[in-house]
Homo-oligomer: A and B are copies of this chain.
Amino acid sequence: MGRVKLQIKIIENMANRQVTYSKRRNGLIKKAYELSVLCDVDVALIMFSPSGRLSLFSGNKSIEEILARYINLPGHERGGRLHNQEFLQRVLVKLRRDADQTHQATRIFEGDLSEVTTLHEAEYWEQILEETLKRLHVRKILDKHKTLVHDSDKMSSWMTSSIALKRFWHAMLIFLSMNEDARYSPPATTNVDEFVTSSPHNMLVDWLPQRDLQSLNFLNANGFLPLRDEAQSGKS
> Which residue of chain B has the shortest Cβ distance to A82 in the bound complex?
B100
Q: Do residues B10 and A24 form an inter-chain contact, with CB atoms below 8 A?
A: no
Q: State the majority secondary structure of interface residues on A.
A: helix
Number of copies: 2
> Which residue of chain B has the shortest Cβ distance to A125 in the bound complex?
B136
Interface size class of chain A, counting residues whose CB lies under 8 Å from the partner chain: 35 or more
Contact bitstring A87-120, B, C-beta under 8 A = 1, else 0 = 1110110110111111111111111011010110
Contact bitstring A177-214, B, C-beta under 8 A = 1, else 0 = 01111011011111111111111100110010000100
Asked if A41 is at the interface of the complex by the 8 Å CB criterion, the answer is: yes
Asked if A9 is at the interface of the complex by the 8 Å CB criterion, the answer is: yes
**Contacts A100-B193, A193-B102 given: A119-B150 contact, CB under 8 Å?**
yes
Q: Do residues A141 and B126 form an inter-chain contact, with CB atoms below 8 A?
A: yes
Q: Do residues B73 and A54 form an inter-chain contact, with CB atoms below 8 A?
A: yes
Asked if A227 is at the interface of the complex by the 8 Å CB criterion, the answer is: no
Partner of A133, one of B69, B102, B142, B180: B142
Q: Do residues B38 and A196 form an inter-chain contact, with CB atoms below 8 A?
A: no
Residues of B within 8 A of A64 (CB): 84, 87-88, 91
* Selected A-B contacts with CB under 8 Å, 14 pairs: A21-B38, A34-B207, A40-B50, A62-B222, A76-B101, A85-B99, A92-B183, A102-B191, A113-B160, A122-B136, A130-B142, A165-B175, A165-B184, A184-B186
